[in-house]
Amino acid sequence: MQNQNISHSPDQWSIIENDFNSDYIGKCEVIMALGNGYMGIRSTPEEKYLTETRNWFVSGTFNKAHDTEVTELPNIPDVIQMTLEINGRRFTLDEGQVKSYTRSLDLKTGELVRNILWHTDETGDLDIEFHRLVSSHDLHLVAQEIRIKPLEKDCQIKVVSGINGQVTNSGAQHFVEGSKRFYDKKVMHMNQVTTESDIEVFINVMHRIVLDDQRLDHDTLIMMDRRKIFGHMSFSTSVGSQVSITKFSNVGTTRDLEFVDMDRESIKKELLNRIEGYWDKSFQEVLEASGLALKDKLWDQARVEIDSSVSFDQVAARFAMYHLYGMMPAHDKRMGIGAKGLSGEGYKGHSFWDTEVFMFPYFLYTRPELARQLLEYRYLTLPGARKKAYENGFEGAQFPWESAWLEDGEVTPVWGAADIVTGKSTKIWSGFIEQHISADIAFAIYQYYNVTGDEAFMEDFGYEMLFETAKFWASRLEDGQDGLLHINNVIGPDEYKEHVDDNAFTNYLVDLNFELSISFAKKVRDENPKLYKDFDKKLGLDSWISVWEEKRRKIFLPRPNQDRVIPQDSTYLTKEIIDLTKYKNQEHVGSLFHDYNLTQVNNMQVSKQADIMMLFYLREDLFSREVKLANWEYYEPKTLHDSSLSLSTHAIIANDIGNKDLAYELYTRCREIDLGQNMKSSDHGIHAASLGGMLQVVLNGFGGLRILNGKLRIEPNIPNTWKSLTYDFHWQGDTLRVEVSQTEFVISNMTKNNDMVEFSYKGNDYLLREKTTVLLDKVSK
Amino acid sequence: MQNQNISHSPDQWSIIENDFNSDYIGKCEVIMALGNGYMGIRSTPEEKYLTETRNWFVSGTFNKAHDTEVTELPNIPDVIQMTLEINGRRFTLDEGQVKSYTRSLDLKTGELVRNILWHTDETGDLDIEFHRLVSSHDLHLVAQEIRIKPLEKDCQIKVVSGINGQVTNSGAQHFVEGSKRFYDKKVMHMNQVTTESDIEVFINVMHRIVLDDQRLDHDTLIMMDRRKIFGHMSFSTSVGSQVSITKFSNVGTTRDLEFVDMDRESIKKELLNRIEGYWDKSFQEVLEASGLALKDKLWDQARVEIDSSVSFDQVAARFAMYHLYGMMPAHDKRMGIGAKGLSGEGYKGHSFWDTEVFMFPYFLYTRPELARQLLEYRYLTLPGARKKAYENGFEGAQFPWESAWLEDGEVTPVWGAADIVTGKSTKIWSGFIEQHISADIAFAIYQYYNVTGDEAFMEDFGYEMLFETAKFWASRLEDGQDGLLHINNVIGPDEYKEHVDDNAFTNYLVDLNFELSISFAKKVRDENPKLYKDFDKKLGLDSWISVWEEKRRKIFLPRPNQDRVIPQDSTYLTKEIIDLTKYKNQEHVGSLFHDYNLTQVNNMQVSKQADIMMLFYLREDLFSREVKLANWEYYEPKTLHDSSLSLSTHAIIANDIGNKDLAYELYTRCREIDLGQNMKSSDHGIHAASLGGMLQVVLNGFGGLRILNGKLRIEPNIPNTWKSLTYDFHWQGDTLRVEVSQTEFVISNMTKNNDMVEFSYKGNDYLLREKTTVLLDKVSK
């Protein structure tokens, strides 16, 4: 892989860009983005490029740029940009001679490094390094360091660096122009307030310049412009010397939980004090503290070790874990995870079903307290979900398709890209009729309870969400002429089919939602009468149980037809079948829309992503292998995988139905969504759900970690290219380790909080005390 | 001059850039900006550069981005940007080999042309021309044409072009995201509404592609993004062929006078119809129509011919006339002229005293109807001026220092650049205490009346403004311990002196304001009793006359001291004198502020610009040549000319005091503010007042055209480098022509509406019927 542009280090800890091309700058801006859950920064170079995108987001700071727009995470004023002028020559990789170049992100330490040997007539050969990190130790801190070593000519260096508040979200300005100040000839400061949500953001930057270990007492000429404060610093260095320019920046906001009881002036002062605390610190010290914190918070908590002949397999797992860490607001349960994490403007920082169905399982098995937190976030949005249900004429709680700040309710935008036939913007229906998310959340609660047995969570948060979503579905079902109950006019997971009736995935998940509500309601009634009474008082629970039972008996659940194919919805199988060769495996997704508009696509048998396959994954016990196989053969050829949520699910199902090679191929394609050689695919931000999905392929697919009817089942089946897979996971208070080879797997209890752990393998039940070895049954199912 | 970067064509009609350097892109963006009074567009290249600024303004469309900001002209969505990809290579002058390059603005036709011979490995030699114009025929229209001739290789060409609404004013977004649409597979459309003033802007663009006179029926792939609609067009051409891509764009707004009675939908339709009307028109046809209109509106109306050994002298005059035409909203008297015209964000499109004192005289002598319109604009702002006076505890009308839309009143921003000592933003006091503008407007009214004798104007607008400003001044004067009346705490023209008492310029202009109000009030009383009665009823005129007379008797007017120096204000002469060598004639203005803050500068004898000199120009009869000379010698060395308003006034005074060489040198420096080789000086926009000032140096300085006590005086004194100067000017309904040589001048009446015209030359009175020749008195005054 070393001859390709995106490669990795021999220790499988760093991803590396080997060649810089400003036409494809978005790729590494995103896949090398830095984050710590509190903030995320796109890895845009210090020097400016025409094609660049600068993004710096702080979790939860949602704002509506205007009444007519939906709320989004605003870009806060940029600090990353730094302009270097060396002997009168502006540094840019688009000019001069780039004699060598690498950029790498060390996933272990979170350090981003560029190593460049640059030559121009004016400067001679120059060794330039750029270092950068977002601290995992001090969540508010960003550190940068530029190291310049002239190899041939003495250099006069000018650095222009500061804070640029002229940034927007693709033209939408979220901030009122605030104030700026240069404090004590040391710290540049800017504070700005969001236009609608009234969140104040405070940003400070401070520079130190060191020449061969000697700190320079440099003069800074301060320039203020509209929404800008920049300092000009000049100094010189000679051949054989090294000069380093360190920039420390911090940010804090009035939304931050830690500042929630402080007045604005005090927050500002606190952040100023904190940045001044770095006055005598070196970049190296800051890096070490951050690396230790990252080890503590991530790498010591989760283990996914892959010994594969394709070394990218291990790198990809670490890559996914690193980014999921960076986007998870572990510091504040009032915030969810955005569909692009904190790495891009795409999807505006909103949370979708992506969280519960794609990312949640990874957190659940490795950091159950974070999985709990994600569900608590949903609990805190219940008032908005109740309001949405009420406004649509339903009962209970209807979770928004897109969710942002707690009180925001539904935040899905209404208008999308151009319709190629009419020339108008396309209406986005998801916010109105993509309703399965309420059942997806119920499913996640069930999963959480199965894995953790956390009764306190259920009592405080889980039951209420289960009951409220069940109430919503009960009121949502429609009477059909067949005497059954139907869910008409929805969008299922496959978003190329709008306004369909009886989407199989949706109906089956709703059925489960009822099942769970009924059984848990009865459990509470039997085991905790006081709580039951409280729920009855608050939600009318007693009378709902029989309603749910009645509805569940009558809900229409599509069955396999004579060819064993389950209709994805009531009309899918009747639609036109077209030749999709042109659109399958395209470099860019959505190529179908160059030829057809959504109305036309709606009338063809073509799917964006897994739909029935997703059903097979979440409710695997309901369908036979033969049915799964028949549906695979029917639907996969009609699926364009235009959603990044598609491949990981297909990989797991391919493994389930025994097609191991196909599973690995699909896994590889899934891995390449962000880490592949397509240099455009990540421009709008990282594919967070795909990262979660990829880890599910490893753990729950190849690693065989599944729950069936509340019971642990471990049926590993690793790819032929893998020598072994080792992973730790959380189960009912214990950490279990599974080491899988091609012939056996060993399962060990690392914590032994429970005397005994039960699990099954291929129909046989096992009891684990300390360590158990299971020989793999290599006969194909 | 041909070896320098900014040169001109042999016919002295075009300014030319000979070399492109993207580090200095602002210069020609501004000096080659296109405008027609309705709109102005910065001449940013089609292809993007990091250093570029894109500006497109429509006169009068003021909006406040936020309550805390002042209103400004918003950048409307950009249409100029067009991306070219040829054989896979993106066209940019920063890459490939630029074998030849010129960019020229033809002042006569208003056409902007770039001629480029570009070479890359992929494309071979390519001949590329870019043509652009803002139509003077259809004020809403912008036309662009790219002509590509492959010289070595056949070319596959991709053009990406459309409308980009992601623009801001340095980060301030003035528009709500509107709608976009592709109509009839022909016209891309975007409409957006300003956030506060609720002005809707409609923009349409349409493309035509012609290969060797054959129109191509090209496909357009439309891409919509946030605030963006772009079309992708692909086609090929071969060696020896030429392909041209023509883009017609139009804009209209709900602020436009012509649409004021139409509903929004009708305006939108009307503009769509109009752009479709160009479907079969060529760029050449549009250019011809526009050129004819420009001839009719500008070049046939005003004549300034300079036969100089320095050919830039003629070019500069045409340059000034072209830009003053382009920024003058001749179509709508509800609008003023911005201090940077329509060429940059600088000064936000606001009108200052620059209009009346620097630009107005040119319009007055060449297009008196436009001069009248500019005064009517001020008349329409009277309610705001009355409000400002009232709110400050004064009577009458106090005109705002910065003026925008009619109802806006004072719009001077309150905070400016960084104070280098305190690190804080500096407070801008002009809006509060730079008050002389009210007297400047009175002066302009007097000038207008002198030149035109337009009684109707005076009755409808002029008198009222004179009386109201005099009332303001009467209430503004303060009693001093010396028994006289003073004007304390002001800023005079020299803005490096804030909070001064008795600024000489201000006090003398106020004295004139009283003098005019008194004499005109008496004239109205005597000649038009009915009108007098109306004014008395409306303004209490009768009782004010005696007040004004009383105040005028007691107003303190600073006299020359024993050294004949008039104190610029009550404390200037007592302040510290410092060595200014370091700051005089700097490449960048304002260099003093790298070492001192405004408080410190306030306490030194250093001036930003003409102050006493300005007084000598406007009230020349009050001071002897000796006094002028003494003050010149005292003040000029202390003046940094950091304001572009400074040099033209100094040039005129230098000529007045007989120092012809110095006058010419100062004139040259004034001309070079925009047209010189300093590539950074125009970045924020054209220096509109300096252009007006430059024409005043030519007409009123070298050309000797002056009014003294209401009488025409012509005392030409042209530079030694000039063979002749010929100019036409308006006088009392006639167009007079003056042809000056080094030995004589000939004055002719071109229209002969008046039997006889009186004028004086060096104390002698002349009567002009058809043509008079006057021998120049070459003895120094």
Kindly report, residue by residue over B188-234, the tens digit of the pLDDT. 999 999 999 999 999 999 999 999 989 998 888 888 899 999 999 99
**Nearest residue in A to B23, CA atom:** A90
Question: Given A167, A222, A224, which is nearest B171 (Cβ)?
Answer: A167
Q: Cβ contacts (< 8 Å) between A166 and chain B: which residues?
A: 168, 170-171
Question: Given B184, B224, B226, which is nearest A171 (Cβ)?
Answer: B226
Query: Which H helix or E strand runs over A426?
Result: strand A425-427
Phi, psi dihedrals of residue B265, rounded to the nearest 5°: -65, -40
How far apart (Å, rounded) are the C-alpha atoms in residues A633 and A624?
14
List CB contacts of A198: < 8 A, sequence separation 6 or more: A254
pLDDT confidence of residue A2: 37
Q: Is the pLDDT of residue A780 over 70?
A: no
B interface test, pick of A168, A194, A232, A683 with most B CB neighbours within 10 Å = A168
Does the beta-carbon distance from B172 to A227 stay under 8 Å?
A: yes
The size of the A-B interface in CB pairs under 8 A is 114
Does the beta-carbon distance from B423 to A23 stay under 8 Å?
A: no
Does the beta-carbon distance from A418 to B167 stay under 8 Å?
A: no
pLDDT confidence of residue B779: 53
Q: Cβ contacts (< 8 Å) between B166 and chain A: which residues?
A: 168, 170-171
Percent of chain A with pLDDT over 90: 91
Q: Taking the CB of residue B295, how many other CB atoms lie within 10 A of it?
A: 14
Q: Taking the CB of residue A308, how many other CB atoms lie within 10 A of it?
A: 21
Torsion angle, alpha carbons of A587, A593, A595, A596, to 10: 150
| Mean pLDDT of the region A100-110 | 98
Does the beta-carbon distance from A227 to B48 stay under 8 Å?
A: no
Question: Given B177, B221, B226, which is nearest A68 (Cβ)?
Answer: B177
Taking 70 as the pLDDT cut, the residues of chain B under it are 1-3, 779-781
Confidence of residue A689 (pLDDT cuts 50, 70, 90): very high
Q: Cβ contacts (< 8 Å) between A221 and chain B: which residues?
A: 420, 594
A interface test, pick of B186, B226, B272 with most A CB neighbours within 10 Å = B226
Q: Taking the CB of residue B337, how many other CB atoms lie within 10 A of it?
A: 29
Residue type, B54: R
How far apart (Å, rounded) are the C-alpha atoms in residues B577 and B720?
35
Asked if B326 and B40 count as a contact pair (C-beta separation under 8 A), the reply is: yes
User: B314-328 pLDDT, tens per residue?
Assistant: 999 999 999 999 999
Q: Cβ contacts (< 8 Å) between A233 and chain B: which residues?
A: none
Distance (Å) from the alpha carbon of A233 to chain B's nearest alpha carbon: 13
Confidence of residue A375 (pLDDT cuts 50, 70, 90): very high
Does the beta-carbon distance from A171 to B177 stay under 8 Å?
A: yes
Confidence of residue A233 (pLDDT cuts 50, 70, 90): very high
How far apart (Å, rounded) are the C-alpha atoms in residues B292 and B559?
53
Q: Cβ contacts (< 8 Å) between A588 and chain B: which residues?
A: none
Does the beta-carbon distance from A224 to B417 stay under 8 Å?
A: yes
**Nearest residue in B to A420, CA atom:** B222
Identified catalytic residue from A434, A464, A495, A498? A495
Asked if A733 and A754 count as a contact pair (C-beta separation under 8 A), the reply is: yes
**Nearest residue in A to B417, CA atom:** A224
pLDDT confidence of residue A677: 86
Could you tell me the two tokens for A126? 């120059």
Q: Cβ contacts (< 8 Å) between A23 and chain B: which residues?
A: 90
Residue type, B570: S
Confidence of residue A781 (pLDDT cuts 50, 70, 90): very low
Asked if A373 and A352 count as a contact pair (C-beta separation under 8 A), the reply is: no
Does the beta-carbon distance from B172 to A177 stay under 8 Å?
A: yes
How far apart (Å, rounded) are the C-alpha atoms in residues B160 and B79?
11
Does the beta-carbon distance from B171 to A227 stay under 8 Å?
A: yes
Q: Cβ contacts (< 8 Å) between A595 and chain B: which residues?
A: none
Asked if B365 and B730 count as a contact pair (C-beta separation under 8 A), the reply is: yes
Does the beta-carbon distance from B68 to A177 stay under 8 Å?
A: yes
Confidence of residue A3 (pLDDT cuts 50, 70, 90): very low
Does the beta-carbon distance from A179 to B221 stay under 8 Å?
A: no
Give the DSSP letter string of A672-732. HHHHSS-TTTTTT---HHHHHHHHHIIIIIIT-EEEETTEEEE-----TTEEEEEEEEEET
pLDDT confidence of residue A595: 87
**Cα angle A104-A108-A110, degrees, rounded to a multiple of 5:** 60
Q: Cβ contacts (< 8 Å) between B162 and chain A: which residues?
A: none
Question: Given A170, A184, A418, which is nearest B227 (Cβ)?
Answer: A170
Does the beta-carbon distance from B170 to A226 stay under 8 Å?
A: yes
Residue with the bigger pLDDT between A779 and B456: it is B456
ipTM score assigned to the predicted complex: 0.89
Distance (Å) from the alpha carbon of B22 to chain A's nearest alpha carbon: 12
How far apart (Å, rounded) are the C-alpha atoms in residues A663 and A660?
5
Q: Which residues of B carry out catalysis?
A: 495
Q: Cβ contacts (< 8 Å) between B172 and chain A: which residues?
A: 173, 177, 226-227
Question: Given A50, A65, A176, which is nearest B68 (Cβ)?
Answer: A176
**Nearest residue in A to B88, CA atom:** A23
How far apart (Å, rounded) are the C-alpha atoms in residues A135 and B304?
66
The whole-chain average pLDDT of chain A stands at 95
CA distances from B44 to A502, B40, B132, B167, B202 (A): 55, 12, 11, 14, 21
Does the beta-carbon distance from B171 to A176 stay under 8 Å?
A: no
Q: Taking the CB of residue A227, how many other CB atoms lie within 10 A of it?
A: 23
| Mean pLDDT of the region A430-456 | 97
Among A726, A700, A728, A715, which Cα is nearest to A761's?
A715
